[in-house]
Amino acid sequence: MRIDRVQNSTGVGLMMTLAVLVWTGTAQAQSLDEIIEAAVEATGGRQAIERIQTVRFTGSFSMDTEFGPIDGDVEVVIIPNQKMYQGLFSDLFTQRSAWDGSVAWQSDDLTGTVELTGTAAANLRNQATLDWFQAYQNPASGDARYAKGDDEQVDGRDHFVVEISAGGIPYRYFLDKETYLVNQLMLEIDVPEIGGMIEVTVRVSDYKTFEGVQMATRTQLSIPGIYELDMRYSETVINGPVDQAIFTKP
């Protein structure tokens, strides 16, 4: 109902109309289906997302550690629902990790190359899903389960919370109520090397449009007491050639 279409021009009629508008706006609660559909549309829509066959991000990173700050270059490559790769390169260390479609691995200067299992492997596999909202009620999402959590605030702004469990990992996605874009996600992952479960907070920002799809060009990852990682992507290539060798375990 629009105020400019109200036939009754009296003050009482206008007040009644405003009362209806206020009641309607506050009484309506969005379902999980409605939130996810709005998120897909805000990102660019299903057809635009489905046209993406490969994504390659390159840029720089900075990492705060107990040993001091580390700066370097970053590369992330995703073949949606199939493979993913991430490389961090600095003067102090090199770390690469990937999911090749069946095996997850990590290679760095300290531990060499190891095959990952459990939630560490599942998290890499999950990162091959370009858009978890696009994957909702889609066989490509595999064993993923979705639920609507309680609304929360992030940086003073109201957010919807969508809980997604995939590969034994619980994720909580925070979507800005005005833009329907993800600003933050949180997850718990088991890391036996450091004594068990850890909580990871990921902030995503600086969205830009590539081939009709909104993508974050900054990712900030926080593991309290371990490190803070800030990755900024200066170049994003959609559907470009990909060297398949980067996914293969060395």
For residue 28, is pLDDT > 80? no
For the stretch 36-70, pLDDT in tens is: 999 999 999 999 999 999 999 999 999 998 778 99
Q: How many CA atoms, within 13 angstroms, populate the side-chain half-sphere of residue 145? A: 6
Q: Which helix (H) or strand (E) holds 57?
A: strand 55-65
Helix (H) or strand (E) holding 47: helix 46-50
Q: Give the range among 79-83, 97-101, 118-122, 236-240 with minimum mean pLDDT.
A: 118-122
Q: What angle do CA 176, 182, 184 make, to 5 degrees?
A: 100
Q: Is the pLDDT of residue 22 over 90?
A: no
DSSP for 74-123 reads EEEEEETTTEEEEEEEESS-EEEEEE-SS-EEEEETTTEEEEE-HHHHHH
pLDDT band at 29 (very low <50, low <70, confident <90, very high): low
For residue 12, pLDDT over 90 is answered with no
Averaged pLDDT for residues 132-152: 86
| CA 157, 162, 164, 169 torsion-angle sign | positive
The secondary structure of residue 147, as a DSSP letter, is: E
pLDDT digits (tens, 9 = 90+) for 217-232: 999 999 887 889 999 9
pLDDT at 1 over 70: no
For residues 199 and 186, is the Cβ–Cβ distance under 8 A? yes
Element (DSSP H or E) covering residue 187:
strand 182-191
